[in-house]
A and B are shown apart, each in its own frame.
Chain A
């Protein structure tokens, strides 16, 4: 009987893992239909650890658990110090660079220096090509976008986007979204900072642009504030067992949002975050309930 049970267990194990992978929540990139898991990984601050081997190996552990949980998109920028080389170190050590959706940015005022910066970024990542290249904070965006369109046409990148954070230059951001062909936009949006809901998110949906959400936890401040309060009992209805999942599910349940990219230095946190990739997503009524609950706190 025990042998039979063991056989059943071993036979079921891969199926259970497969079932869990099937249930991973993904959304399509509108311009291509490519499925993207709704939780990605940011690298601002957290992966900027320089040559510190101990810290680099910790980051490698974070990326390994992120990929193991079905994650794909990792986002970085030349602005983030040593984050790109650290990501490249981790991917090389894990031998898993082909599993990653690499999202990076061009961030340099001189447009002529853009291609060299992007090539340097690619070499840091150690990938044959970067999947998504975004113009960071709209720096010299007119010229950089022309370069990115040419790179996409030549097959050097797969997607073109623009990125901002903390509500920076939203009016200009909106104008670019209206007038240029974009695959992705990246912006800040979370349960207490919902400015993007007014114009940018509806515009992205209307124009068929994928949306990456940064600063989902307001650099951790939002979690620190909320952790003083109990998670509502009904959070279990949408598969949330902690505040990070609660916040992330709110973000990725917006119809226009493709994925959120929380950043972390801790394996336990990445496990928590990736939990938001599974289970039910809140519907409109539940989203309103989530806003009301947090507003009351």
Chain B
């Protein structure tokens, strides 16, 4: 369509904030108790990080891949697309990310989620814990229903943010490719939340910029 340049963000976000956040509430109700499995996945990822083993790294990559595929299919395609047709394209991107994580994760070399006590790694841990622990509280902090919460492996924002945190822990070349879709999602969701006048709109874009900056820093300064 050749007239895309004539639209601004608000023109493309054709649902109200109430409808958007209620989407999360209905989604959580419909899929309970899958949330418990997602919570377990988050705990397993943290345990695997502590173990620092090859198989632990593979488990992390596979769980991340499952998270991206689940969110792409169940949330973006089945739940979000009926009110936001472009979400089907988001779902495709999430599947692609799942595929990349799986391929890199189970390859002979795998992804090593361990980069020592560097600034980059410390910020990575901070972003990861923020995604797993702080993001779910955003709904309550901003005055919404607790059922409208964001959860890792259930909803896209927390999943993307946790992935960014984990990718900051690796210095593998794969990270440069694996970070593209999560970073793009951070800007997309930031724009959507900004159009909906949600107070947390800037969180993910700021984390994305931080991630890019840390990845571009010369190795010695990381």
Bound CA–CA A79/B4 (angstroms): 13
- In the assembled complex, A293 has its CB within 8 A of some CB on chain B: no
Instruction: Specify the main secondary structure of chain A where it touches its partner.
Output: loop
Which residues of chain A from 118 to 166 have a CB within 8 Å of any chain B CB? Answer: 137-139, 165-166
Q: Mark B1-41, 1 if CB is under 8 A from A, else 0.
A: 11100100011001110110011001000000000000000
Bound CA–CA A245/B18 (angstroms): 25
- Contact-residue size bin, chain A (C-beta under 8 Å from the other chain): 20 to 34
Residues of B within 8 A of A82 (CB): 82-83
Contact: B3 with A81, CB < 8 Å?
Answer: no
Of B2, B10, B22, B82, which one neighbours A81 at CB under 8 angstroms?
B82
- In the assembled complex, B84 has its CB within 8 A of some CB on chain A: yes
Closest to B6 in A: A168
Contact: B10 with A219, CB < 8 Å?
Answer: yes
Contact: B14 with A44, CB < 8 Å?
Answer: yes
Closest to A78 in B: B85
Bound CA–CA A44/B22 (angstroms): 18
Residues of A within 8 A of B82 (CB): 50-51, 81-82
- With A137-B6, A219-B10 as contacts: A50 and B23 at CB distance below 8 Å: yes
Bound CA–CA A221/B180 (angstroms): 36
Bound CA–CA A27/B26 (angstroms): 43
Closest to A79 in B: B14
Bound CA–CA A80/B2 (angstroms): 19
Which residues of chain A from 69 to 101 have a CB within 8 Å of any chain B CB? Answer: 79-82
Give the one of A46, A80, A81, A166 with max B CB within 10 A.
Answer: A81
Closest to B81 in A: A81
Which residues of chain A from 170 to 202 have a CB within 8 Å of any chain B CB? Answer: none
- With A81-B82, A81-B84, A137-B6 as contacts: A166 and B22 at CB distance below 8 Å: no
- In the assembled complex, A45 has its CB within 8 A of some CB on chain B: yes
Interface residues of A (CB under 8 A from B): 44-46, 48-52, 55, 79-82, 109, 137-139, 165-166, 168-169, 219, 265
Q: Which 6 pairs from chain A and chain B are nearest by CB?
A: A81-B83, A50-B82, A50-B83, A168-B6, A48-B15, A109-B1
Identify 5 new A-B residue pairs, CB closer than 8 A, beyond the known A46-B16, A52-B26, A166-B11: A45-B14, A55-B18, A55-B19, A81-B15, A137-B6
